[in-house]
Amino acid sequence: MSGDSDTLRIMEIVLTAEIFNQNPELDINDITPLCRDVFGATGSEIKRPVYVSDGLIKRALSIADAHTKLVANPFISYEEFGQRLKITALEPAGQWFLKQGGKPFLEKNPALAFYFEKIGGSNGVSYKDVRKVNPPFEDTKAHLDARISRLISEDEKLRGALDLVILSAPDEIEQHIDDLVCTDDQIAIINKIQHALDHRDFLHRHRIYEIGKLLFVGPPGTGKTSLALAMSRTMHMPVLEVRLSMVTSQYLGETSKNIDRIFDLAKQLAPAILFVDEFDFVAKSRTTDDHGAMKRAVNSLLKNIDRINLIRNGVLLIGATNHPQLLDEAAWRRFDEVVEFSLPDEGMRKDILKKVTSTLHCTVDYAALAKKTERFSGSDLRMMIKEAILSALMDKRNDIRESDIEKGITMVRNREAIRHQNWL
């Protein structure tokens, strides 16, 4: 027996509301993001009892007159006043849901998994496993915005730091680790940091602090920023992205204070990732600029790096540079791990191409294409595929052919040729 898709989606929400109301031990992380939206979650708690109405269903699922979809279910009542949907008998309503094909919802909804495991009808679905993969509320923009508002109300100076960073909650990050092709060394670093986070109390007790200051080095387009952002999702930490040239380009006399405020903000939002791009700007400033304010700003940056760490402060610091040769010993030694991002070799290029085209109908020889694109960065390969897709669409096709790929290769090579021209 299989139910209508819209009916099952509505039933999931109505069942979740009733289960949540009856089980006070459940919290906001037992609720799916969709149900949080329906139940009006604005903070870290959801006030009980929660209600489900036609209007809320229409706003969340774009399904009008939701109650008409549930007329075949004898365990649902509808109150005309308030347009509320309510379950009259939870267990038979739940069994009806499963018989109609509700198990896929059970596999992604912790509240449902909790209830059916409790009554012995979970069909092998583990509540603990489902809760583990449910996106936590702490990863959401709503949670981050609430924390920011509270911090600014307590310390107005932090508002200036917000203008100098790109602040993202984990659930806003598009990059996933699974979407990237990483080297063994890069994966090893991620695992090391994750273990340090998991055993942070142990490391703190034994005063092992020099962990979690990473320097990403390599040419443009090799994935430094992508990996830093993807780590935000994997480790459930907001990321503060800073470009040093932007921080120092305005209000030079305020630069030292702004750097202090950025580090203070990172500590207040901990656990968090502070990603400092263009780190070589430090070296350029020290060697080419005699301005006293700039020197003070650089010294402020280095001192702040000395005073922050993952174990004590909960801040993972990641610096990134395309020009590691410009960094002097004072800057270099402040990082406990240097992570190399080289241009991808033939095998990595093949893996990147397969990942980028995994959702496309692409009739190309990946091995041959990987050989043909020597010296292409990951960014170049993605740009090449984007151009190939546009070529196919302009030809009123959805399939990517060799001729489309050739156009992409030509575009990338022309860009490089223009970049290296001497216009003087």
Q: Answer with the one of 316, 340, 364 that is the final residue of a domain.
A: 340
Look up the domain containing 108 and give its range.
5-134
Cis peptide before 170 (omega within 30 of 0): no
Q: Are 118 and 174 in the same domain? A: no
Q: Are 210 and 271 in the same domain? A: yes
Return the CA Rg of the chain: 26
pTM for this one?
A: 0.85
Q: Which residue has the tokens 């470009």?
A: 243
More confident residue, 296 or 321: 321
What lies within 8 Å, CB to CB, of 390 at 6+ separation is none
Query: How far apart are alpha carbons 144 and 88 in whole angstroms?
Result: 37
Please check whether residue 152 lies inside any domain of the structure. yes
* Count of structural domains, the chain: 3
Considering 62-76, 156-170, 185-199, 256-270, the range whose residues carry the highest mean pLDDT is 185-199
Model confidence over 374-415: pLDDT tens digits?
999 999 999 999 999 999 999 999 999 999 999 999 999 999
Residue 293 reports pLDDT greater than 70 = no
Q: Are 121 and 259 in the same domain? A: no
Write out the DSSP string of 164-205.
TSEEE-GGG----GGGS---HHHHHHHHHHHHHHHTHHHHHH
Please check whether residue 259 lies inside any domain of the structure. yes
For residue 76, give the nearest of 18, 130, 133, 127 by alpha carbon.
Answer: 18
More confident residue, 27 or 245: 27
Q: Are 308 and 239 in the same domain? A: yes
Q: Are 299 and 319 in the same domain? A: yes
Q: Are 228 and 290 in the same domain? A: yes
Q: Answer with the one of 85, 110, 134 that is the final residue of a domain.
A: 134
Give the tokens for residue 77.
């009542």
Q: Are 68 and 20 in the same domain? A: yes
* Strand, helix or coil for residue 362: strand
Please check whether residue 424 lies inside any domain of the structure. no
By the 8 A CB rule, do 243 and 333 touch? no
Model confidence over 179-191: pLDDT tens digits?
999 999 999 999 9
Query: How far apart are alpha carbons 365 and 376 in whole angstroms?
Result: 17
Q: Answer with the one of 115, 134, 153 that is the final residue of a domain.
A: 134
Q: Are 246 and 262 in the same domain? A: yes
State mean pLDDT over 271-278.
94
Model confidence over 82-106: pLDDT tens digits?
899 999 999 999 999 999 999 999 9
Q: Are 255 and 313 in the same domain? A: yes
State mean pLDDT over 44-72.
91
Q: Are 215 and 323 in the same domain? A: yes
State mean pLDDT over 352-367.
94
